[in-house]
Amino acid sequence: MNKYQEKAVGFLNSAGIAVNGGNPWDMQVLDERVFERVMKKGALGLGESYMDKWWSAEKPDEFFYRLLGAHLEDEVSLTFPLVIQGLKTVLSNRQSHRRGPKNARHHYDIGNDLFERMLGKTMAYSCGYWANAETLDEAQEAKFDLICRKMGLEKGMTILDVGCGWGMFMKYAVDHYGVEAIGLTLSKEQKEWGTEACRWLLIILQDYRKFRSPMFFDRIISIGMVEHVGYRNYRVFMEKMRKLLKPDGLFLLHTIGANKSMFTGDSWMEKYIFPGGQLPSVKQISKAAEGRFIIEDIHNLGADYDKTLMAWYENFVHAWPELKDKYGERFYRMWTYYLLSCAGSFRARHNQLWQIMLSPEGVRGGWKSVR
């Protein structure tokens, strides 16, 4: 047993994970080079080793639940490559005007056939609301309605959906509450799909920073978009939302969140899944909102994301026979690693999901909590 293996095995054992053990969360080593790769490259090495079939687990979501619950990511030594990567992220704006569209295309333009099969009929690519739901579609429609009720939507109101995805939240709000809606996205695939599915919706292919409107909006919603904004741009984002919103309007921010403020993202996720992605903390959000918005409410739905991700995983695996010829085996391992590592992360409460209600000047008499 070399020094890398000895150290890695010790870390894993402290999290209740055995190497080549009999539990579904145990790490099955298929290539012993995995230990050195992980100890030198951290999250990037662990993910790439899985994609290369150097290791596996019967239930990777349970592996990550234990790994992240034990905070073992803090134990991996900072090697020179990891330090350089961190410095690049801190010293550059990875969510600039130029990089933003490229980052979005890397993920959201993978293929609508993949997302249709994984996400279900709502095409909602964010955490569902499972309080009274039995299925993924029910949980996503419940989330849509929860947001509408929180924002107090009424017929004739104007809403701006920043990072509108395929436009299905806007369709729900228009159909059920009679509002008028405009959506922004950086994904050509999302715009084309949404425009075809909802011909009467206006979906604009544009960066939020460049968006100009002749009117102010009654309500602004951003679901799962601020994770792509980056810490250098949080203040710019809040200032832009304030400029577009009426003084008596409401802004609902739905975002994955980190337990502590960070300036770099997960190295594997950055390379393969969400280039430029970064999770904000409550501190970072509140600092960016200071002087622009009053925080009326914070609702944590983080535990519900575990169920949502597992439902996406089941849909993806079920549909794989239809998708495999186009995407290939390496993509399958990458995508399942993505979904199951995220599920394990939320199960361990390593990440959170917040719906944050903000108002420009404070709701007179107080905003009434909606759950």
Model pLDDT for residues 145-164, shown as the tens digit of each residue: 999 999 999 999 999 999 99
At 98 the pLDDT is 63
The predicted structure's pLDDT at residue 96: 52
pLDDT at 198: 85
Count other C-beta atoms under 10 Å from residue 72's C-beta: 16
The reported pLDDT for the residue numbered 164 is 98
Residue 295 pLDDT exceeds 70: yes
End-of-domain residue from the set 77, 108, 135: 77
pLDDT at 359: 98
Give the per-residue pLDDT at 199.
83
pLDDT value at residue 200: 83
| Last-in-domain residue among 45, 77, 109 | 77
Q: 123 and 62, same structural domain?
A: no
Mean pLDDT of the chain: 92
Asked if the model's pLDDT at residue 355 lies above 70, the reply is: yes
With a cut of 60, say whether residue 78 has pLDDT above it: no
Q: What angle do CA 119, 262, 146 make, to 5 degrees?
A: 35
CB contact at 8 A, 179 and 171: no
Assess whether 31 and 107 both reside in one domain: no
Residue 90, domain member (yes or no): no
Judge whether 127 counts as a catalytic residue. Answer: no
> Is 52 or 199 the better-scoring residue by pLDDT?
52
The answer to whether residues 128 and 67 belong to one domain is no
Please name every residue paired with 250 in a beta bridge, in sequence order, or none if there are none: 219
Given a cut of 60, is residue 102 above it in pLDDT?
yes
Residue 268 and residue 275: Cα distance in Å, rounded? Answer: 10
Same domain, 42 and 182: no
**Within a domain: residue 241?**
yes
Give which of 326, 224, 338, 343 is closest to 270, Cα–Cα.
338
Clarify whether residues 104 and 50 are in a common domain.
no
Does 88 map to a domain? Answer: no
Whether residue 282 is contained in a domain is answered as yes
What residues have CB less than 8 Å from 271, skipping those under 6 apart? 44
Q: Does residue 11 lie in a domain region?
A: yes
What is the pLDDT, as a whole number, of residue 75?
A: 58
Residue 84 lies in a domain: no
Last residue of a domain, one of 13, 44, 77: 77
CATH number at residue 230: 3.40.50.150
Same domain, 191 and 141: yes
Q: Are residues 179 and 266 in the same domain?
A: yes
Does the predicted TM-score (pTM) go above 0.75?
yes
Give the whole-angstrom CA distance, residue 25 versus residue 65: 9
Query: 21 and 124, same structural domain?
Result: no
- Asked if 234 and 174 sit in the same domain, the reply is yes
**Cβ-defined contacts of 263-269 (< 8 Å, 24+):** 263/86, 263/89, 263/90, 263/231, 264/85, 264/86, 264/89, 264/90, 265/89, 266/43, 267/41, 267/42, 267/43, 267/44, 267/82, 267/85, 268/43, 268/44, 268/46, 268/47, 268/48, 269/43, 269/47, 269/338
Asked if 108 and 64 sit in the same domain, the reply is no
116 lies in the same domain as 66: no
Does any domain span residue 342?
A: yes
Task: Read off the pLDDT band of 85 (50, 70, 90).
Answer: very low
- Percent of the chain at pLDDT > 90 equals 85
Question: How many independent structural domains does the chain possess?
Answer: 2
Q: Which residue has the higher pLDDT, 348 or 93?
A: 348
CA distances from 34 to 17, 29, 67, 246 (A): 15, 8, 16, 55
Mean pLDDT of 315-328: 98
pLDDT category of residue 268 using cuts at 50, 70 and 90: very high
The predicted model gives 302-318 an average pLDDT of 98
Structural domain of 57: 3-77
pLDDT computed for residue 95 by the predictor: 57
Residues 70 and 105 in one domain: no
Q: Would you place residue 74 in the very low, low, confident or very high pLDDT band (cuts 50, 70, 90)?
A: low
Give me the pLDDT at residue 99, please.
Answer: 65
Q: Which helix (H) or strand (E) holds 105?
A: helix 99-108
